[in-house]
Amino acid sequence: MRKIFTTGLLALFAIVSGAQTVIPLHQESDGRYTMNASVNGVGVRTYYTPDNWYASMSTTTYLFLYENGYIADADVNGMTTVKMPNGTSTKAASFVIRNLKIGNVIVQNLPAFVVTKQTVPLLVGNSAFDCFGTVSQEGSRLIVDDRFEEDFEVASTPAEEPATEAETEAEALVKTLKAYLDMKEYAQAAECFETLQDMGVLTMYSEYQYAMVLNILRRNDDCIALTKPWLEENQGKAMTLDYWMYDALGDCYARKGDKTNAIRYYEEAVAAYCRLFNTTEKEIKKSKFKDETLGYTLYDLAMQYATRDISKTYYYASLAAKSGNANAIEYCRNTKISF
């Protein structure tokens, strides 16, 4: 159900009840501190750093949120070079967290970055709280001194809009759909997706989910029939979805034994993933970009070339190994390919 928030002209604001806001911190066994937080409504394990830093996210967490529709294409700003809290510089994808809730503090439109080598799901620093005043840590408490409180608007209580008949029907159908997915009744789930599509309420990501359901149904020609028109209409609008769609098509044709089309779509998938993270095969070859998800596709591509062009098999297998794919690493070691 949709909700309306009164935010005025401010990009960042807090819900406050006094001169100070206290956020509980939890000390981990390694000495670092975590705090309860949610990103665009989804709980994310969040680490705190006292450095002047906004927020950074691991690739795994970012892809999960993006692929499930919690980070939109409009939130993504492209690649940039950022200086990390430890003083090192790195290339990172820049995006905006529309709503970060920590305790009773809400920060909107917070600058954030996707750091490939980051192991913690979300890292938030003091700069995230700059608009409220000063931040200090007292043991297991983070104190946000909102001495400039009068300059900021307090969020109003969410007001619910009455659900329309179509929204009510769609919500009920989504519950049924989820139940079918939980029971692994994929044929029935596909029928629910088709009904939602006819109702005009499918999001771009829901269409991707639909394609994956058809993929589970042995990745048959129905999946190909759906995926190709989707790409013709939406290619370039959602780079992550472009990758998954091309990869799915590669898998479909690989299972059908059509190596020509399998190679074509795996190569498209690799190109889409490189565009997503503003990298190139040359950068991967130099070990300047490592990503296991891409490694799977590179290895699949290498195997499709195995009976056609052994030099390309070795080339893509080495790239897959550099990306961290375990099968590719084993293959390269067995065939004495340097990576």
Q: For 31-60, how does the pLDDT look when each residue is reduced to its tens digit (9 = 90+)?
A: 889 998 889 888 888 999 988 888 999 888
Percent of the chain with pLDDT over 90: 18
The domain limits of the chain are 3-159, 165-334
Per-residue pLDDT at 157: 37
Q: What is the pLDDT of residue 175?
A: 76
Q: How far apart are CA 130 and CA 127, in angstroms?
A: 5
The pLDDT of residue 243 is above 70: yes
Q: Is the dihedral of CA 33, 35, 37, 42 positive or negative?
A: positive
Task: Please report, for the chain, how many H helices and E strands are present, in that order.
Answer: 11, 15
Nearest to 321 by CA among 296, 281, 116: 296
Instruction: State which of 3-7, 152-156, 184-188, 252-256 shows the largest mean pLDDT.
Output: 252-256
More confident residue, 67 or 216: 67
CATH topology identical between 3-159 and 165-334 = no
pLDDT value at 18 more than 60 = no
- Residue 333 binned pLDDT confidence (cut-offs 50, 70, 90): very high
Q: Which CATH class is domain 3-159?
A: mainly beta
Residue 181 sits at the vertex; the CA angle it makes with 175 and 187, to the nearest 5 degrees, is: 110
| Topology of the domain covering 165-334 | 1.25.40
Question: What angle separates helix 292-304 from helix 239-256, to the nearest 10 degrees?
Answer: 30
pLDDT of residue 303 exceeding 90, the answer is yes
